[in-house]
Each structure stands twice: as structure tokens, then as C-alpha cells.
Structure 1
Amino acid sequence: MRIRFALAALLFGFFPATDAFAAKVEVLIDLSEQRMMVEVGGENRYSWLVSTARRGYRTPIGLFHPVRLERMWFSTRYDLSPMPYSIFFRGGYAIHGTNEIGKLGRPVSHGCVRLHPANARRLFELVRLYGKGAAEITIRP
């Protein structure tokens, strides 16, 4: 009984009643600005440049939830291009890191949302920490 009480006290000490794990991770991607904003628990955390679909391709618009997370993925459609820290949100569409960091801020992708690899890792870890069900991805024109 003492062990359970000690364990409960430890857990509640680390995870107070305003449990951070109940918070949402909200990702807003603005295609016209080529920018991603990230909120955690209603608090603005990050604003990053992205690259989305270039002419002839499209990045889907709407509200999505992460479907699958892959720490490292290689595109089966585009020459096995590396897609580190992939957060798939609709079919083959994902938010992921890119080696082409000089092109961030311009629409150059085949439809995915590209981020600096360090930012992709931060977002990936946030979604892993809070859970796919607590993450929303909104993409607007």
C-alpha cells in the first residue's frame, strides 16, 4: 500500500491536475504565406517557413489529423527522396523535413509540406508526446 501511495505521489508530482498531455497540438499551415504556426495548449510556440506544392501539384486544404508517424521514410513515388520525421495526414501527403532548406518559404514540393529538419523533428516529437489524436493540422489557402 505504501508503495502505491508513493508511486501516486510521484506521478501526480510530475503530472499535475492541469495535465500537459490533455493539451492539443494545433498546426496551421498558410499556403499563401508558406508558413506554419504551431500552438500547444492554446499557446503559440513556433512559426516556421515551409515549402508546399509547386505549380502543377497541390497541397490538400482542410482539417486533418496525423494518420502515421515515420522517423525516416523514403518516397516511393519520387526517387526514394528522404522524408525525415514524416507526419502523414492524408494518403501519401506528409509534413516532413527536407535537405533543400534554401528553398523553404517557396512552393517547390510535389504536395507535401516541407520543413527544416530540426523543426520537423520538434513537431514530430510534439505529436508523439501528445498523441496523434490530440493533434490537428489545418491547411488554408
Structure 2
Amino acid sequence: MKKILSVIVALMAAVAITFTTVEAAPANPAVRVHIDIGSQTMSVMVNGFPYAFWRVSTARKGYYTPRGSFGVTRTAKVYYSRKYDNSPMPNSVFFHGGYAIHGTGYIRNLGRPASHGCVRLHPANAAKLYALVHRYGLKRTRITLTD
């Protein structure tokens, strides 16, 4: 009986740790970012109202941009890709591992697939999105990518 009780206590502790470390997405995020990979566009809503509509570049042939709904995992005002030749990624908003929305110097390519998987934006728009995410909070931002 003592052994069964200790197993139950250990399981309850594991469940409690799991529930306290997993962050749930906000039920009604203040900032909603939707990336439409098919049209290579991003729309941004703030508190349910349209804020912006921008052209983006996602993964070119041979690379992949993840689909799904994500929270913001971290941000970096100044960042350089460790994987792709130290390429600059200004105003990065990371949403899935090393994938981020960030500014690019390749603005001619916006509106068509051109990246290694990240979502590229015009540098001025990336700065606006970065500021918006910080104004409302990382936990109150939701990023959704669809085909």
C-alpha cells in the first residue's frame, strides 16, 4: 500500500509540473498575425481591428516554412543567423524553434517565396511588428501560418 501511495504521489507531482510549465495560448490574443503562404502576405489584427497588410517572403523551393498556430517564443532586436552565413535578421519575432518573422534587405523578393524558411518582411514593417509584439506582450500574440 505504501508503494502504491508513493507512485500516486509521484504521478501527481509530475502532472502538476507539466501543467505549471506548459504555457497555454491566450484565449483572445491582442495581436493576431496571419501569414498566408499561398499569397505571400501577412495580415495583422490588434484587439480585433485590422492593423496592417504586408507582403512577405517564405520558404523557397527546397526549404520549408512551418504551418500552424504558434505563440511567440522569444524576440531579438538584432540577430544574425547561426545557420545561414551569419545573415542579419533584424527585429526577429521567433515562433517555432529557429523560425522567425524578421526584416530583410531583399525587399525586391517580397511577395514571392525566397527564404530558407523564415518569414521575411520589409525592415520598416518588421520594426513595427516587433514594437507591437512588445507593446502588447509576447504571451498576448498569436502567429498563424496557412497555405
TM, length-normalised to structure 1: 0.84
Q: Distance in 2 between matches of 1:68 and 1:27?
A: 15
Alignment of 1:1-141 (within 5 A): 24-141=30-147
Cα distance change of structure 1 residues 53 and 44 upon mapping to structure 2, 3 Å threshold: same
Q: Which runs of 5+ in 1 are unaligned?
A: 1-21
8 Å contact from structure 1 (residues 68, 88) kept in 2: yes
Q: Distance in 2 between matches of 1:115 and 1:23?
A: 22
| Higher fraction of strand | 1
Pairwise CA RMSD: 1.0
Q: Larger radius of gyration, structure 1 or 2?
A: 2
Give aligned-pair identity as a percent: 53
Give the superposition deviation at 1:47.
Answer: 0.2
8 Å contact from structure 2 (residues 59, 115) kept in 1: yes
TM, length-normalised to structure 2: 0.80
| Ranges of 4+ aligned residues in structure 1 off by more than 2 Å | none
Q: 1:83 is paired with a residue of what secondary structure?
A: coil
Give the superposition deviation at 1:23.
Answer: 6.2
Aligned residues: 120
8 Å contact from structure 2 (residues 102, 119) kept in 1: yes
8 Å contact from structure 1 (residues 73, 84) kept in 2: yes
8 Å contact from structure 1 (residues 36, 50) kept in 2: yes
Q: Which runs of 5+ in 2 are unaligned?
A: 1-27
Q: Distance in 1 between matches of 2:75 and 2:98?
A: 12
8 Å contact from structure 2 (residues 43, 52) kept in 1: yes
